[in-house]
Amino acid sequence: MKIIDRLREDRIHISFEIFPPKTDEGFDKVITAVDEMAKLEPAFISVTYGAGGGTSKNTARIASHIKDELHVLSLAHLTCASSTKDEVREVIGNLKSLGIENILALRGDIPADTVFPDEKRFRYASELVREIKKYGDFCIGAACYPEGHVENEHKADDIRYLKQKVDSGVDFLTTQMFFDNDIHYNFLYHIREAGITVPVLPGIMPITSASQMKRSQELSGTVFPRRFLAILDRFGSSPAAMRQAGIAYATDQIIDLLANGVKNIHIYTMNKPDVAEAIMNNLCEIIKA
């Protein structure tokens, strides 16, 4: 089943994201986490490609496990900056042979030791989308940035590039994490005005430790609102309190999104099934309403 077909259903969908292990020794631990998350009945589970593509070899294995063993829709991430065109084509062919129908097409981070762009690599995610479409009937997702992409100085340019990417054949979008829902609503208004009509899944990151917040800010450059900073200042030194506060903050974001008509929400779980379960428990009756 394709994710776009699920997103078109008139009901609330909550999906999860997990990342592959950094080493082969950690594979079983990730599988255990995925198995626990599957019990929560997510709409789908996405599997990242790993920083610089370094853990990409396990992406297809985990996505296949989710689909075939857990009977949950899986979404395999695919980045192109860290791999040659031939390597990318090999991955697409492998995903197709495994029966994985859903791919999230990303440019990805540029490896420090790589000359980019060059003729051997796809330069933009839009080029990767067009390449994926050559291989058959995949459902293709892509990323978007409510606060603007760090490489684009003006948000108008960011939306223009996003429109080009969507027009290349993207079926749905997933946002980078954000912590102020007004940023998301403003972003939706502007992209709809620009003619981008595909479903957009807001990406919610439960921040459960001070170190996680610092890492998230380094990776995404996201802005933390004063309300969240106050939570961090008050509870950041207590791991148990910060975990509870972070789960509550993410839950509150999701409830606000649902109350404002958003039906599809993606949670960046950081491979923590207990955090995913706590959020789903907080939403158990809300999702039914």
One digit per residue, the tens of pLDDT, for the chain of length 289 reads: 999 999 999 999 999 999 999 887 899 999 999 999 999 999 999 999 965 445 577 999 999 999 999 999 999 999 988 888 999 999 999 999 999 999 999 998 776 676 667 788 898 999 999 999 999 899 999 999 999 765 555 678 889 999 999 999 999 999 999 999 999 999 999 999 999 999 999 999 999 998 887 777 666 667 889 999 999 999 999 999 999 999 999 999 999 999 999 999 999 999 999 999 999 999 999 998 8
Q: Which of 17, 101, 131, 147 is catalytic?
A: 17
Does the reported pTM lie above 0.85? yes
Distances in whole angstroms, Cα of residue 33 to Cα of each of 42, 132, 274: 13, 29, 9
Largest CA distance in the chain: 52
pLDDT of residue 218: 67
pLDDT of residue 222: 79
Q: What is the torsion angle, in degrees rounded to the nearest 10, for the CA atoms of residue 278, residue 42, residue 251 and residue 268?
A: 100
* Contact of 172 with 7, CB cutoff 8 Å: yes
Q: Is 17 a catalytic residue?
A: yes
Distances in whole angstroms, Cα of residue 111 to Cα of each of 50, 83, 108, 147: 12, 10, 9, 24
* Arch. (CATH architecture) of 3-288: Alpha-Beta Barrel (3.20)
